[in-house]
Structure 1
Amino acid sequence: MLTTNEIRSAFLEYFASKGHQIVQSSSLVPRNDPTLLFTNAGMVQFKNVFTGQETRPYSRATTAQKVVRAGGKHNDLDNVGYTARHHTFFEMMGNFSFGDYFKPEAIELAWTLVTKNFGLAKDKLLVTVFAEDEDAAGLWRKIAGLDDSRIIRIPTSDNFWRMGDTGPCGPCSEIFYDHGPDVPGGPPGSPDEDGDRFVEIWNLVFMQYFEDPPGVRTPLPRPSIDTGMGLERFAAIMQGKRDNYDTDTFVALTQASADITHQSVDGAFKASHRVVADHLRSAAFLIADGVLPSKDGRGYVLRRIMRRAMRHLHMMGTTDPVFHKLLPALIQQMGGAYPELVHGEALIRETMRGEEERFKAMLDRGLHLLEDEKSRLQSGAPLPGDIAFRLYDTFGFPLDLTQDALRGSGHDVDVKGFEDAMTVQRQRARAAWAGSGDSAVETVWFEARDKFGASEFLGYATEQADGEVQAIINDNAFVAEAPVGAEVAILLNQTPFYGESGGQAGDTGFLTASGVKVAIRDTQKKAGDLIVHYGTVTEGTLRTGAAVTATIDHDRRSAIRAHHSATHLLHEAMRRHLGAHVAQKGSLNGPERLRFDVSQPRPVTAEELLDIEAEVNRRIRENSAVITRSMTPEEAVNEGATALFGEKYGDEVRVVSMGAGDDTRGAWSMELCGGTHVARTGDIGQFRIVSESGVSAGVRRIEAVAGRAAESLTATNEQRLAQMAAMMKVGAAEAPERLATLLEERKLMERQISHLQRQLAAGTATAAGVETIGAIRLATRNVAETPARELKGLAETILKQGNADVVVLISTAEGKGSVVAAITPEWAEKADAVALVRAASAAMGGKGGGGRRDMAQAGGPDAGAADAAFDAVRATLKELA
């Protein structure tokens, strides 16, 4: 008996031997189709190849593609665990031809693989074709030898595939396996086709037309092939089973569930074990592909899946979180084929554990409320919508979880009442919002939020993705289209662009489509969780509903990531070197630099800055993985994470961890942060502190650079050092010592010059003589370029010569007037030096001045009025004469 892993390998190897390129499964989060919540078919990653927008180095491909169908149009969640073939996660094997081979070879390849390589009996197989596709019917007769009784013509759209209302399309042909007459059910197309006897195992799509407009088809110049075979269904047939959950992979997972819950696999909780096994696969693969539990979008679907599994574990008697303990069993089964499970094991495990801890904290209370309310219901009456909403809003019960809990009780949920309660809450939240800025603009975004819901941010995992234009805003109003040159704000349903928040600058880049280009200059968050792109239409006309490719500026994002991650390391290094009082008071993480404001009562010394910088670079060189987990703010803080100043945290937060932890903490740096970060600390590169300064009382600011900006700063500083060394005619290593010598020599020369100036000034002042005003002997002198700081000492020197009672000196250095008055102790009782310098200052266009009665100093902006200043001094003294 072939195992599921062996079947997968055999399928891929068969097509590789036929010239097909084995292509790895793409992410469950589609990057090239904004209409999809999750990757739901094998052809999704090849969509642009089929439409001609993208070329690959191969024309034939084969894949085993991860698929999730648990939200939107493709939603199998409610049936999982209760039927034989419904799953939220499954694998779609397929082969693809991009204009290479067509129907004859596709049918021959499929028939040969199924009947010869896998050995299925031909009489157990039948096929369907589109009723108008006589080519396919003829090929099945010729290649497979099937008679018309086993070639069923289906006239409906079930056997005609379309990519959308317009675009590539074509007829389908399906291969069915017949389990035999002892199993209820009829062949496809019959009234009993929903039975279990005939199981579809493979669908071949013959992509041969292009439909545009709807109903008008033209043949494609290069017809293509897209096929899909559900691995779980095929494994059941190959292993002689009628139920997918009886195959080897699911047997191992359900047994792991039974072992951990101590409940029999086939007992009363058979369906619960199946729910757990299926949802374990979905949750693990979604987390591995970057989805984390949240209240909106993909994260909300993940949360629904996880909490549904966790409720079934709770029903089976578990009291502690155990969902994450099943992960090793899954990795053992599927880790070889999907190494992302191995690489992401720590993140997957911690996300599961944290979600179950949160859910269990609310589960008992929620179920108690549900049971209490159910006991009050009349037979068959639905649970009121407001009660279901309370379970959702207060206890975290998704609507479908409440519906699942009521399964078998004869009660359903008043869904309309639930939706009405949800609407009331949104209106209440909007009314309570206290915003700032242009109210008209904010009103527009709240209208958009009510209409479209939260934006889906894909930027943690990718820098390019397709999105649908949901709204275009111009001059604070919604518009249907925007021509070239229009300045617009754009809302997409999903985007890799980061909206400015948490200190991280918003992304820039481009939105493109056929003939359309929009240059995005900034991205902001509005109405809480809308991501708004601001830009200019540079080509074509942008229209609402259009599919665009959103591409961020990679180099700019990389620089921002480096600065943001470096800020985390800087914060922790400051706390460890300066003390736990250090707390973030604000930050800016842009492409050129980072700015970080912290509570710190004194300046950070140069030695401390060197130690902090060295610590950050040491952590960078460790090149540890940067781990992101999702949890409640309370759990994060309890684990030692640092909450950042000014952030508004919701029910869920991302905790970013860097470096090895210790006994009290799981990582060296742990912070609550919704920004984007490097994958490993080594990706930051260099880190350099540029400056430290004061911002306000008790707040200091660090400016620093990381990555290429740090490299540029280092190169610039080295260039400047080389230039300085060349000017001093020494090597760079000797430059500091030589500069210190020159500075010391300069200080000595300045002292010598000052001494000579004082001697010269004193001599010239004495030589100028002394004038007498009444009984007062006055010595005045304009000492020209003598520095103002020398005036007091010079005045005292002249006064000590005993030839004057009052000395007034004026310096005109640097174009400004500075005046000093000195008076002997005998005359200081009658004359006031302060009055003299204020009179002189006023004459030079200044005011004020200060000092003592025997020594004072003032100044004025007009150095050319020195003579007038002396006259003002004389006039003041004459009043005493």
Structure 2
Amino acid sequence: MKDLGLNEIRKEFLEFFREKEHNIIKSFPLIPMDDDSLLLINAGMAPLKKYFTGELKMPGNRAASSQRCIRTADIESVGITQRHGTFFEMLGNFSFGNYFKEEAISWAWEFLTERMEIPKEILWISVYEEDDEAFSIWKDKIGVPEERIVRLGKEDNFWEIEEGPCGPCSEIHVDRGIKYGCGDPDCKPGCDCDRFLEVWNLVFTQFNKDSKGNYTPLKHPNIDTGMGLERITMVMENADNIFEINLVKDIIHTIEDISGVKYKTDDKKDISIRIIADHVRAMTFLVYDGIIPSNEGRGYVLRRIIRRASRHGKLLGIKGKFLTEVVNKVMEIYNMEYPELLRDKERITKIIASEEGKFQETIDQGLSILENLIEDAKKSNLDYINSEDAFKLYDTYGFPIDLTVEILKENSLNVNLDEFNNLLEEQRERSRSSRQSGNVGWANEKNEYLINLQESNFIGYDNMTAESEVIMILKEGDLVNSLSAGEEGIVITETTPFYGEGGGQVGDTGLIKSETGFLEVFDTKKNKNNGIYHFVTVKEGKINLGDKVNLYVDVDRRHDITKNHTATHLLHRALREVLGDHVHQAGSYVGPDRLRFDITHFETISKEDLLKVQDIVNDSISRALPVFKQSMTLKESEEYGATGLFEDKYKDIVRVVTVGDKFSVELCGGCHVNNISEIQMLKIVSESSVAAGVRRIEAITGRKVYEVLKDDESVLNELSDNLKSEKKDLAFKIRYMHIEVKTLEKELSKLKEKDSLKGSDDILKTVKEVSGIKFITHRVSDMSVDNLRALGDNLKDRLQSGVVVLANVAGDKINFLATVSKDLAGKTISAGNIVKEVAKITGGNGGGRPDFAMAGGRHIDKVDEALSSVESIINNLKK
């Protein structure tokens, strides 16, 4: 077998399938895009669902990827076993109705046996018991001996869900040898022992299963394969488990260095090390992909992982925050495939450090209380603690219930989670009741009346007013016959000019009038059937079921929205022109005040490129290109050259919006201007990252640009008056003043340095000695780092042989400096070790060279205690 590590195997896999004419797809973010069925991406095929269903098309209809994944179903087993993990990468090659079994099987075999050079004799195959076709390919075309091909049942080798596409699987297994086996001479794939490791699963999606359990062959069957990158790395490195591969070992070595605990010397501590090694990879990528710790959904997964790792660091004896040190190692070792991690290092480490800090503020108190509860339960011979106590821990002290359950389990205790959840729901109900009434949070598609609402007669593309009849009124989720003055609800009419929120465009606002009432429409939405419903407040009189009404859209607001919507199309075209054809929309917001446009792009967009994009859009606006809206079949739109700006499920008849002579051609159901000159001007106001490979651009158009220009002009006038300079000379004037300030700051710093050194005579008088080593400790305030260094060097030189430790307190920050004379540095004692121990006392950390080191601290009230500890630290290090 080739001597390859994880990063090299990934590269080899993708290159192999590039040669097989596959589109090589960079890993999608862990946050599913436009897929509410998944909390997090958990398989290589998950981000590609729409290609399998045919909703989206890919050149050549084949792809390969190394997709990062998160699975948390077995999180309690992570660390306890040596095979469970939350984070992994899934290698996969996919066919969307292109090739099928023979190619998938032959390429998998070729990659493993020829590219990876895995001996053929240790590879075993399993196939679905009824899949004679796959069996024949393996036996007759690949040449695998029949005795190494195992037929297994549906549970092992058939992939299906309740309804929909499904099909048989064929798995490739590696025989790891008798030492991993159960001792049965007939042991083979399908046995529960660890001898046969399944490394690659080939899924042949060839049937559609209906609600009655019938299997109908698909016209265009698909291929979906998955090979765990960590698993194949185990094979290539001849490792026992996923924690023994070199990449994870590097992370474990970092944990060993921080904790001082050697892996594989204590079973309990090994569990903690494995948990941290797994969880830091997961948290690094979760944060990079835009997830923030919270108490719900994806944010809670991240919070749980961070807190679990932090707690196990505490079990290893690590004091203070440490996770970012391990995260930095993760970024370093994944740099080959994910260099973007290091580019986003500051944000990632800041979020993780903040969450770890919050947790550590509560964990000590919570653990102390929980330990007392455990002790009381054991004294009383109980195997549980009260759910009320567990809820108090959660509600009052912020101690997570899953951590409580985990610690209880370690002590052979439990808690009634049903009772806990009841208490939690009671608290939520109290919280809901205490909120102010008047919202319409019930008004969503979970309301059965809104679910069943059929398509409305929408005339709002060409009309801003309409006459119609009220066909339904809802109040707080229930059908009613009328709404009176001061009441809020939903009014539905047969015909409406109001655009319901969709495709990124916000809903219209406006007025509804009848003979008996006057209503303000403050929002408009639509359901999946394109049934449109108006959120209203009755301002005067009342509205009744069956009333004839006049509907009026807020025209000025709609015009601002249409300007921004058409501008997103121009922006999309310009971005692809400047950045490349890989740019696609990943989300949008189109409102009256601004537009937000998210695109697939894997690096920060430079200011120069943003200016080019802005120039292209404004140049097109100046050319007053007409905008055409046409309805056609989906197939006609493809032939016409339209692209799907929104990756929706389009009907057979679609709406195509064309700017000029195909300057931009998009499928879009939104509202647009008739000529792009109506947009007047576009100005990009910001560019940022929202997730891995997704950039966000915010821009304004029309009246908003004019308002910004007026504001900018006002600021320039004020600056010009205050600086007594012409506007054209302001930039030069400010640069000159900046240089002048810098010069004065340097002069002031030199004066402060001289002033600080004046007191060095008095400081020298405080010299002490321990174990034959002279040392000085001293506290200063509001000193610059440079001046602190100068003072330390001055004292060290005058001391000739010894140690100097200084503490500088500036506001709420602490800086420690330690410097050691050359005759002692690295031979007897180290400045780095001294400053690290001193800083720990104030809740900080740091280090450096043997002769010089610096560190930070948090608790100012412990500075004097930290300086007092220098004597014992030197004494211990001397020993």
Q: TM-score, normalised by structure 1?
A: 0.54
Partner of 1:346: 346
Partner of 1:400: 402
Which of the numbers 373, 381, 388 marks the counterpart of 2:383? 381
**Secondary structure at 2:88 match in 1:** strand
Superposed counterparts of 1:352-367, under 5 Å: 352-367=352-367
Q: Does 1:202 align with 2:200?
A: yes
2: CA distance, partners of 1:118 / 1:406: 46
Partner of 2:488: none
Superposed counterparts of 1:531-550, under 5 Å: 534-537=524-527, 539=529
Partner of 2:661: none
2: CA distance, partners of 1:558 / 1:680: 23
Partner of 2:424: 422
Number of matched pairs = 523
Question: Cα–Cα, structure 1 residues 593 and 157, in superposed 2: closer, same or farther, change >3 Å?
Answer: closer
Question: What residue identity is the alignment partner of 2:66?
Answer: A
Which of the numbers 60, 63, 66 marks the counterpart of 2:65? 63
**Is the 2:139–2:145 Cα contact (8 Å) retained in structure 1?**
yes
Shift of the alpha carbon at 1:291?
A: 0.5
Partner of 1:870: none
Question: What residue identity is the alignment partner of 1:711?
Answer: V
**Is the 1:85–1:243 Cα contact (8 Å) retained in structure 2?**
yes
- Show CA shifts across 1:539-572 (max 9, x none): 56799xxxxxxxxx99859999xxxxxxxxxxxx
2: CA distance, partners of 1:155 / 1:488: 55
Q: Does 1:251 align with 2:249?
A: yes
Partner of 2:209: 211
**Secondary structure at 1:26 match in 2:** coil
**Is the 2:181–2:187 Cα contact (8 Å) retained in structure 1?**
no
Partner of 1:298: 298
Q: TM-score, normalised by structure 2?
A: 0.54
Partner of 2:55: 53
Percent sequence identity is 35
2: CA distance, partners of 1:397 / 1:301: 15
Q: Does 1:472 align with 2:469?
A: no
- Show CA shifts across 1:210-246 (max 9, x none): 2233422222222211100001111011101121100
Shift of the alpha carbon at 1:187?
A: 11
1: CA distance, partners of 2:83 / 2:373: 34
Question: Cα–Cα, structure 1 residues 307 and 559, in superposed 2: closer, same or farther, change >3 Å?
Answer: farther
Shift of the alpha carbon at 1:385?
A: 2.0
Partner of 1:281: 281
Question: Cα–Cα, structure 1 residues 189 and 535, in superposed 2: closer, same or farther, change >3 Å?
Answer: farther
Superposed counterparts of 1:10-409, under 5 Å: 10-70=12-72, 75-162=73-160, 164-185=161-182, 193-268=191-266, 269-378=269-378, 379=381, 381-409=383-411
Partner of 1:820: none
Shift of the alpha carbon at 1:57?
A: 2.0
2: CA distance, partners of 1:710 / 1:427: 42
**Is the 1:519–1:536 Cα contact (8 Å) retained in structure 2?**
no
2: CA distance, partners of 1:483 / 1:418: 42
**Is the 1:520–1:534 Cα contact (8 Å) retained in structure 2?**
yes
Gaps of 5+ in 1: 446-468, 492-506, 523-531, 544-552, 561-588, 595-619, 625-675, 687-705, 719-732, 734-881
Shift of the alpha carbon at 1:509?
A: 7.1
**Is the 2:500–2:525 Cα contact (8 Å) retained in structure 1?**
no
1: CA distance, partners of 2:697 / 2:94: 41
1: CA distance, partners of 2:216 / 2:41: 28
Larger Rg: 1
Shift of the alpha carbon at 1:334?
A: 0.6
2: CA distance, partners of 1:139 / 1:146: 9
- Show CA shifts across 1:605-635 (max 9, x none): xxxxxxxxxxxxxxx99999xxxxxxxxxxx
Shift of the alpha carbon at 1:677?
A: 7.4
**Secondary structure at 1:32 match in 2:** coil
2: CA distance, partners of 1:68 / 1:193: 27
Question: Cα–Cα, structure 1 residues 542 and 270, in superposed 2: closer, same or farther, change >3 Å?
Answer: farther
Question: Cα–Cα, structure 1 residues 47 and 555, in superposed 2: closer, same or farther, change >3 Å?
Answer: farther
2: CA distance, partners of 1:187 / 1:482: 65
1: CA distance, partners of 2:142 / 2:610: 58
1: CA distance, partners of 2:566 / 2:366: 44
**Secondary structure at 1:199 match in 2:** strand
Question: What residue identity is the alignment partner of 2:302?
Answer: L
Shift of the alpha carbon at 1:714?
A: 7.9
- Show CA shifts across 1:299-353 (max 9, x none): 0111001100000011112221111122221111112212331232111100011
Question: What residue identity is the alignment partner of 1:377?
Answer: A
2: CA distance, partners of 1:263 / 1:302: 26
**Is the 1:473–1:489 Cα contact (8 Å) retained in structure 2?**
no
Question: Cα–Cα, structure 1 residues 106 and 257, in superposed 2: closer, same or farther, change >3 Å?
Answer: same
Segment of structure 1 superposing worse, 415-424 or 85-94: 415-424
Superposed counterparts of 1:561-710, under 5 Å: 591-592=592-593, 678-679=687-688, 709-710=703-704
Partner of 2:452: 481
Question: What residue identity is the alignment partner of 1:60?
Answer: R
1: CA distance, partners of 2:194 / 2:304: 28
Shift of the alpha carbon at 1:125?
A: 1.6
**Is the 2:445–2:527 Cα contact (8 Å) retained in structure 1?**
no
2: CA distance, partners of 1:400 / 1:212: 38
Question: Cα–Cα, structure 1 residues 132 and 319, in superposed 2: closer, same or farther, change >3 Å?
Answer: same
Question: Cα–Cα, structure 1 residues 356 and 105, in superposed 2: closer, same or farther, change >3 Å?
Answer: same
Question: What residue identity is the alignment partner of 1:42?
Answer: G
Partner of 1:437: 438
- Show CA shifts across 1:159-208 (max 9, x none): 2223x433221111111112112213479998983322121100000011
- Show CA shifts across 1:569-592 (max 9, x none): xxxxxxxxxxxxxxxxxxxx9633
Superposed counterparts of 1:849-864, under 5 Å: none
2: CA distance, partners of 1:181 / 1:151: 19
Shift of the alpha carbon at 1:402?
A: 1.7
Question: What residue identity is the alignment partner of 1:472?
Answer: N
**Secondary structure at 2:180 match in 1:** coil
Partner of 2:743: none
Shift of the alpha carbon at 1:520?
A: 4.6
2: CA distance, partners of 1:372 / 1:519: 54
2: CA distance, partners of 1:6 / 1:533: 54
Partner of 1:711: 705
Question: Cα–Cα, structure 1 residues 207 and 333, in superposed 2: closer, same or farther, change >3 Å?
Answer: same
**Secondary structure at 1:182 match in 2:** helix
Partner of 1:660: none
Shift of the alpha carbon at 1:156?
A: 2.0
**Secondary structure at 1:319 match in 2:** coil
**Is the 1:81–1:275 Cα contact (8 Å) retained in structure 2?**
yes
Gaps of 5+ in 2: 457-470, 477-497, 510-521, 534-560, 569-589, 596-606, 612-684, 713-726, 728-879
**Is the 2:501–2:526 Cα contact (8 Å) retained in structure 1?**
no
**Secondary structure at 1:220 match in 2:** strand
- Show CA shifts across 1:50-101 (max 9, x none): 111111123221100010012xxxx121111122221111000011111111
Shift of the alpha carbon at 1:33?
A: 2.3
Question: What residue identity is the alignment partner of 2:342?
Answer: V
Question: What residue identity is the alignment partner of 1:413?
Answer: V
Question: What residue identity is the alignment partner of 2:210?
Answer: D
**Is the 1:33–1:44 Cα contact (8 Å) retained in structure 2?**
no
Question: What residue identity is the alignment partner of 2:417?
Answer: V
Question: Cα–Cα, structure 1 residues 591 and 200, in superposed 2: closer, same or farther, change >3 Å?
Answer: same
2: CA distance, partners of 1:533 / 1:290: 29
Question: Cα–Cα, structure 1 residues 195 and 418, in superposed 2: closer, same or farther, change >3 Å?
Answer: farther
1: CA distance, partners of 2:75 / 2:475: 33
Question: What residue identity is the alignment partner of 1:296?
Answer: E
**Is the 1:488–1:536 Cα contact (8 Å) retained in structure 2?**
no
